[in-house]
Chain A
Amino acid sequence: MDMYTLMSGLQLTCIYAILAIGVSIIWSSLGMLNLAHGFTFAASGYGAWWAVTVFGNSALVVFSAGITTGAFVGVLIYFLAFLYIYDKPNYPVRALIATMAINMIGVQFLMWWFGPRMKPLPKVFGFGSIKFGDAVVTYSQFGTIVCSVGVLGILLGWLGITRRGLEIRAMMQNPEGAALVGISLRKTALWVMALSGALAGLAAVLLSQTFFVSPYAGLQPLIKGLIVALLGGLGSIGGAMVGAVMVGFAEALTASYLGGQYVLMVQFTMIIIILLFRPRGISGLLDEAREE
Chain B
Amino acid sequence: MAIDKQSQHSAPSRSLVGDRGWLPRIRLAGQRSLTRYRIPFTRRTWFQGHAVVNPRDLTRQYKLDDKRPWFWIGGLIAALIIPILVGTNLALTAATTFALYAAINLMWMLVIGTAGIFSLATLAVVGASAYLAAWFSIEFGITWPVMLLLGTLVGLLFGAIIGLPALRIDGLYFALLTMGVVELCRVYVLQSRTFGSATGGLYGADTFIPVAWQLKTPGLILGYVAAFAVMLAMLGIYRLVNGQRLGLLLATARESEATAEALGINYQRARFTVFLISSAGLGFIGGFYATYFKGASPSLFSIDQVMLLFAMIVIGGLGRAEGAVVGTGVVVVLDKMFTEFGPIRFIVIGLIMLGVTLFARNGLFGIRDQFVEFRNKKKSERRSGRTEKGGEPLPEEATEIRDKDQIYFRRFDKRLRDHLKTLVTPEVIEEHRLKPLGQHSDPLERVLNYFRGAGGENKYVLYELKANTEYKIIVTTGEKGIPPRDVDSTIYTSKNEALHAVFLKRVQDLMDS
Contact surface of A with B, Cβ cutoff 8 Å: 33, 80, 84-85, 88-90, 93-94, 97-98, 100-102, 104-105, 108-109, 111-112, 219, 223, 226-227, 230, 234, 261-262, 264-265, 267-269, 271-272, 275-276, 279-281, 292
Rounded to whole angstroms, the CA-CA distance of A140 and B188 in the bound complex is 33
Pairs of residues from A and B, 10 with the lowest C-beta to C-beta distance, nearest first: A268-B180, A105-B350, A104-B350, A101-B353, A101-B354, A108-B343, A108-B346, A112-B343, A111-B343, A279-B169
Q: Per-residue CB proximity of B346-373 to A under 8 Å, as 1/0?
A: 1101110110011001100000000000
- Asked if B76 is at the interface of the complex by the 8 Å CB criterion, the answer is no
Give the contacting residue for B357; candidates A97, A261, A272, A279; CB below 8 A: A97
Instruction: Give the docked Cα–Cα distance between A244 and B56 (Å).
Output: 72
| Interface residues of B, dominant DSSP | helix
Q: Which of B29-37, B171-179, B261-269, B381-389 contacts A (4 or more CB under 8 A)?
A: B171-179
Hey, which chain A residues are within 8 Å of B171, CB to CB?
292
Binding site for A on B (CB under 8 A): 165, 168-173, 176-177, 179-181, 183-184, 187-188, 190-191, 303, 307, 310-311, 314, 318, 342-344, 346-347, 349-351, 353-354, 357-358, 361-362
A73 to chain B, nearest CB (A): 15
Nearest-neighbor residue (CB-CB) of A280 within chain B? B173
Partner of B176, one of A89, A265, A275: A275
- Contact between chains at B168 and A279 (CB < 8 Å): yes
Indicate if the CB atoms of B343 and A265 lie closer than 8 Å. no
Q: Give the contacting residue for B353; candidates A97, A230, A269; CB below 8 A.
A: A97
- With A226-B176, A271-B180 already in contact, the answer to whether A102 and B343 are too (CB < 8 A) is no
Q: Which of B165, B307, B318, B350 has the most CB of A within 10 A?
A: B350
The residue in chain B whose Cβ has the minimal distance to the Cβ of A105 is B350
A116 to chain B, nearest CB (A): 9
Can you report 17 residue pairs joining A to B where beta carbons are below 8 Å apart? A84-B358, A85-B357, A97-B314, A100-B311, A104-B347, A105-B350, A105-B354, A111-B343, A230-B173, A261-B191, A268-B181, A268-B183, A271-B176, A271-B177, A271-B180, A276-B165, A279-B169
Q: How far is the CB of A265 from chain B (nearest CB, A)?
A: 5
Are B187 and A104 neighbours in the complex by a CB distance under 8 Å?
A: no
Query: Given A33, A105, A264, A269, which contacts B347 in the complex, CB threshold below 8 Å?
Result: A105
Q: Which of B176, B342, B351, B353 contacts A112 (CB 8 A)?
A: B342
In the complex the two chains form, is A80's CB within 8 Å of B170's CB?
no
Q: A264-B187, A265-B188, A280-B173 are in contact. Are A104 and B343 (CB under 8 A)?
A: no
List, in ascending order, chain B residues with CB within 8 A of A262's CB. Answer: 187
**Residue of chain B at shortest CB distance from A269:** B184
A108: contacting residue among B165, B173, B190, B347, CB under 8 A: B347
Question: Considering the chains assembled together, what is the distance between the CA atoms of A105 and B307 in angstroms?
Answer: 12
Give chain B nearest CB distance to A260 CB in angstroms: 11
| B-side contacts of A100, CB under 8 Å | 307, 310-311, 353
With CB as the reference atom, state the residue of chain B lying closest to A111: B343
Q: Which residues of B contact A93 (CB under 8 A)?
A: 318
| Residues of chain A within 8 A of B347, CB atoms compared | 104-105, 108-109, 112
Q: Is A104 within 8 A of B172, CB to CB?
A: no
Minimum distance in angstroms from B189 CB to a CB of chain A: 11
- Closest CB-CB distance, B191 to chain A, in whole Å? 6
Report Cα–Cα, A237/B295, bound state, in Å: 46
Q: Which chain A residue shows the least CB distance to B186?
A: A264
Chain B contacts for A223, CB-based, 8 A: 179, 303
Complex: A80 Cα to B350 Cα, angstroms: 13
Question: Which residues of chain A are within 8 angstroms of B190 by Cβ–Cβ distance?
Answer: 261
Contacts of A97 in B (CB 8 A): 310, 314, 353, 357
Q: A80-B354, A234-B172 are in contact. List 13 more A-B contacts (CB 8 A).
A: A100-B311, A104-B347, A111-B343, A230-B172, A230-B173, A230-B176, A261-B191, A265-B184, A265-B188, A271-B180, A272-B165, A272-B177, A279-B169
CB-CB nearest in chain B for A109 = B347
